[in-house]
Amino acid sequence: MLYTDRLTVAGPGLASFSFPEDTALFVVGDAHGQNQALRDLLSGMGRITTPGLKRHLVFLGDLIDRGPDSLGCLKTTLLDGAALARADEVTFLPGNHELLLADTIEDAMTGGNAALGYRSAGECWAMNGGAMFLAEVFEHLGTKAPAGAAAQVMAFAEALPHPGHESFLDMVRSWPSHVRVGDVLCVHAGITPKKPHGYTLDLDQRSHFDTDHYRHWAWLRDAFLGWQGGWPTSGAKDDDHGCLVLHGHTVPAGARGSKLTDGDAVASVFNRMETNGRVCLDGGAAREVGCAGAVITSAGMRVLFQHCEDLSLEDAA
């Protein structure tokens, strides 16, 4: 696993940044079915010592789709994640892929095949890695998929882990849009500039696939990624106090197919604090590059990165 030196939290609106002195926050970005890299990242987090601090682990969503082992990623995070990272508390945030799958299951339950057709959430999910995930689960079960799209989705959903909940759908619907620890805001895709945070973060899960799509916390891109005015809670541009946003969803240009070789390279790719007040933790798992994460305490932050194919610092030298 690669990691940066300790980074000072600095940037627009972060002059009075604060973080609980009794907490270590561990954040994991998009895994997209790359289960081995995910497990290696979590195990690496588990080796980081934080004497006397409460360890809070947050998953930013998009655990599934596009990679070879989405089912494994779900089992790792839901069943083993806390133990691997030695976390005292775990928070799961849904990404757009979990929301598309939840919509697909809900549509299959209520509208059957008719609700899974052209331009539906089910079609979008299937075209963005869902069909591969569906086939993976039936191969794991060792059974043939039933006839009919709705029947396939329902049988598939029954095989998904959902500890502590009646179903996978109920579990995803219980996940919050974001979590804030001190002045660190964790969200899947981002928040809208020049608006109170609630303008984005209060949107319902189900609105992500309709008219709110362009500003939804699970889908935001251009407006969020290009903004350099900081993230004050009130949304006022001249408010000096803001938060640091940790997010996934969009692979940084430097992680699109290239091999990162050391901590300095990791920092240059994922750290956008000084210009944008954010850190991106999408490590390019959907492109078979790797999984990214971060650890934050009151002393500063480190960004972590695990290649899909293990590449140690010694190998890279």
Domain boundaries, the chain: 2-94+177-316, 96-174
Q: Name residue 276's amino acid.
A: N
Q: What pLDDT shows up at residue 275?
A: 95
Q: Is CATH 1.20.120 the classification given to domain 2-94+177-316?
A: no
pLDDT tens digits, one per residue of 76-132:
999 999 999 999 999 999 999 999 999 999 999 999 999 999 999 999 999 999 999
Helix (H), strand (E) at residue 103:
helix 96-111
Q: What pLDDT shows up at residue 317?
A: 26
Residues shown for the chain: 317
Q: What pLDDT shows up at residue 237?
A: 62
Torsion, Cα of 74, 78, 80, 82 (10° steps): 130
Q: Are 38 and 76 in contact (CB under 8 A)?
A: yes
Residue 103, Cα to own-chain centre: how many angstroms?
18
Q: What pLDDT shows up at residue 67?
A: 96
Q: What pLDDT shows up at residue 15?
A: 87
Buried b (16+ CB within 10 A) or exposed e, 80-98: ebbebbbbeebbbbbbbbb
- Return the closest-CA partner of residue 30 out of 282, 218, 217, 294: 282
CA distance 126 to 100: 9
- Return the closest-CA partner of residue 44 out of 80, 2, 89: 2
Pairing outcome for strands 244-247 and 278-280? parallel
pLDDT tens digits, one per residue of 126-160:
999 999 999 999 999 999 999 999 999 999 999 99
pTM of model > 0.85: yes
DSSP state of 279: E
What stretches in the chain show pLDDT beneath 50? 311-317
Taking residue 148's Cβ as centre, other Cβ atoms within 10 Å add up to: 13
